[in-house]
Structure 1
Amino acid sequence: MSASDWSAVWLTARLAALTTLILLMVATPLAWRLSRARGRWRAPVEALVALPLVLPPTALGFYLLLLMSPNSMFGGWWLERTGGTLAFSFHGLLLASLVYSLPFAVQPLQNAFEAVGRGPMEAASSLRARPLDAFLTVAAPMAGRGYATAGALVFAHCLGEFGVLLMVGGNIPGRTRVISMALFEHVESLDYAAAHRLAGGLLLVSFCILLTVALLNGRFRSMRA
């Protein structure tokens, strides 16, 4: 591969890794709260979290681009603090990735926490464990399958996203050019050999991620049994 393609691979891997780590931390309290909620606000929050799944990527990217504009309150605040704009930067790509990948982290964790049930937490509470201690020592380990699934889905989704990132980051080599954009460029220029290398790499990595999750899920089922 060319140096430009390797740069796109490295930038994409860094973006996916950071997005996965941040979302696992951000989604954990949100998913936990949703798994325990019974109020009327639960349905609207779940719909809002799942919105990136059904909203066209270009529409989501457009609104994120407006949010990152120096003319907006948030974009202007960022410009004042950092001296640079969020749009067409790696930080902008990261913010966009966090937004459009949020449901891939929240939903598996929420399902895992709901599967834990209230019994183990009540048992820990009866032993005078504080809520945070009970969560870290009981609920989180029992939801290991959900964490593995959420991490894999977020990482794999970030590897292949195109529309949102193109709207927010453009296609600047070394700054915002990710694998999907490099692949599109090669296809557009009829360089199918280079396109095959990138597409084949994505296919192989995605398969390995899903295979690993399947194996881990099987192990978690065996441990629980």
Structure 2
Amino acid sequence: MLDQDFIYTLLLTGKLALITTLVLILTGIPIAYWLNYSRFKLKFIAETLICMPMVLPPTVMGYYLLVAFSPENAFGNFLQEYFDVRLAFSFSGIVVASIIANLPFMIQPLQNGFAALPDELRQASYTMGKSKTITLFRVLLPNIKTSLITGIALTFAHCIGEFGIVIMVGGNIPKETRIASVAIYDEVQALNFEAANHYAFVLFILSFLILLLIYSINRKINFTTFR
């Protein structure tokens, strides 16, 4: 019979990944659209900042976020004093950290998808009197379904396996910030390899299924397109 802590940890992991993915779908689409079509001269700085989590060690990012979230510093103190929100060592904090860490995994596939579309498609929609919003959701997004699915799957998969930034910002608080990747580390430290294997096996299967889903859907879409 499965342990309640094991089930709760997996549910917390899924909750974190689901919230992060949903938030990044809502924010990632307009950001990717802006990055691809904007003529803002300093756009490359925004692109650099968004991609930083891909090259910056998670513990480094986690450390700076922890410092920012701490009530002893201006931002953390402002949130706690005026909104009664504590981000350091809390589930809310690891959600915010996870969103920041997973930005490139959602935005880059979408941006690449937009870049691959012929600009005549967008211009034709404008010529027909369609607004930018309608063009985005009715014309552009349906033509980059593969990129959207890839971004969603990569974000979710990366989130369930995130460790460094979570342990730095959230610590290891049962039923609060102890997600599966942290639990694996915790169980190995305690030489409880059987429990660590249970967590690792679940994450392995989930990652495999997510990648299988990406490739199968992309294969089906490509087959339908070129049929």
Please give the TM-score of this superposition, normalised by the length of structure 2: 0.94
Task: Kindly state the Cα deviation for residue 223 of structure 1 after the two structures are TM-superposed.
Answer: 3.1
2 CA distance for matches of 1:10 and 1:37? Answer: 39
Residues 92-101 or 28-37, more deviating:
28-37
Hey, what does 2:176 align to over in structure 1?
A: 175
1 CA distance for matches of 2:7 and 2:110? Answer: 33
Classify the secondary structure of the residue corresponding to 2:177.
coil
2 CA distance for matches of 1:72 and 1:117? Answer: 47
1 CA distance for matches of 2:147 and 2:85? Answer: 37
Residues 74-83 or 52-61, more deviating:
74-83
Structure 1 segments, 4+ long, off by >3 Å, are 37-40
Structure 2 counterpart of 1:26, which letter? T
Hey, what does 1:106 align to over in structure 2?
A: 107
2 CA distance for matches of 1:39 and 1:82? Answer: 34
Structure 2 counterpart of 1:51, which letter? M
User: Which runs of no fewer than 5 residues in structure 1 stay unpaired?
Assistant: none
2 CA distance for matches of 1:117 and 1:191? Answer: 55
Q: Deviations over 1:9-58 (max 9, x none)?
A: 11110000000000111111111111113553232221111101111111
Task: Kindly state the Cα deviation for residue 208 of structure 1 after the two structures are TM-superposed.
Answer: 0.2
RMSD (CA atoms): 1.3
Count of aligned residue pairs for this structure pair: 225
What percent of counterpart residues are identical?
37
Hey, what does 1:68 align to over in structure 2?
A: 69
Q: Deviations over 1:67-97 (max 9, x none)?
A: 1111333212221244342101110010000
Hey, what does 1:40 align to over in structure 2?
A: 41
2 CA distance for matches of 1:190 and 1:65? Answer: 28
Aligned pairs (5 A) from 1:77-116 = 77-116=78-117
1 CA distance for matches of 2:206 and 2:138? Answer: 32
Residues 120-129 or 215-224, more deviating:
215-224
Classify the secondary structure of the residue corresponding to 1:143.
helix
1 CA distance for matches of 2:39 and 2:132? Answer: 19
